[in-house]
């Protein structure tokens, strides 16, 4: 019999001091509905190798991925209809969405030079260091950017917007 944590909607099983949580199509639909209600644009699968690639479990091939695809491609909200009775008592209480937490704020004033090059949300490469690039974003105070670096030996590819080998960006030369 399946036991579901009623606060998070995900099934789990246990024996003595061992506990395993997992997702099924119902929990994926519930999480998808929650994600869509937050205005998120999609979902990610942490352990894709756990999906049923061969369809041996009786729900067709790729049931988890197909459920995610179905949720995010259709327009309206997801309506979850449980197929099994939900039992069990949760040991942890979760609130969705989480309650507001007041934290101290830090104010950063960006100079014109610090945000130079940022005219749109997205990525730009540093003009002096091909390994360094910035994530530009707009705030209520104007443009801001976060500095990021490609791993050793790679440079920021300005066409693909990802870290790549130096030969893809001839103006960068060889990077130590």
pLDDT value at residue 129:
92
pLDDT digits (tens, 9 = 90+) for 80-124: 444 444 454 444 333 333 344 333 443 334 444 455 678 888 889
Residue spans of the chain under pLDDT 70: 1, 75-116, 173-176
Q: Determine, yes or no, domain membership for 141.
A: yes
Please count the structural domains in the chain.
2
Residues of the domain holding 53: 3-73
Q: Determine, yes or no, domain membership for 164.
A: yes
pLDDT value at residue 29:
84
pLDDT value at residue 99:
41
Judgement on whether residues 10 and 68 belong to the same structural domain of the protein: yes
pLDDT value at residue 113:
45
Q: Determine, yes or no, domain membership for 88.
A: no
Dist. CA 133–CA 113, nearest whole Å: 15
As a three-state string, the secondary structure of 5-61 is ECCCCEEEEEECCEEEECCCHHHHHHHHHHHHHCCCCCCCCCCHHHCCCCCCCCCCC
pLDDT value at residue 174:
58
Q: Determine, yes or no, domain membership for 97.
A: no
Dist. CA 107–CA 127, nearest whole Å: 26
Q: Determine, yes or no, domain membership for 48.
A: yes
């Amino acid at each position: 019999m399946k036991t579901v944590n009623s606060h998070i909607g995900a099934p789990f099983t246990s024996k003595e001091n061992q506990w395993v949580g997992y997702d099924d199509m119902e929990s994926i639909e519930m999480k998808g509905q929650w994600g869509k209600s937050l205005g998120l644009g999609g979902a990610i699968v942490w352990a894709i190798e756990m999906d049923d690639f061969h369809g041996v479990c009786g729900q067709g091939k790729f049931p988890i991925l197909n459920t995610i695809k179905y949720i995010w491609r259709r327009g309206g909200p997801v309506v979850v209809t449980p197929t099994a009775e939900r039992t069990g008592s949760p040991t942890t209480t979760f609130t969705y969405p989480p309650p507001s937490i007041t934290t101290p704020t830090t104010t950063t004033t960006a100079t014109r030079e610090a945000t130079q090059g940022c005219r749109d949300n997205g990525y730009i490469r540093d003009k002096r260091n091909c390994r360094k690039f910035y994530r530009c974003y707009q705030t209520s105070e104007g443009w801001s950017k976060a500095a990021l670096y490609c791993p050793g030996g790679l440079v920021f590819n300005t066409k693909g917007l990802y870290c790549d080998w130096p030969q893809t960006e001839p103006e960068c030369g060889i990077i130590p």
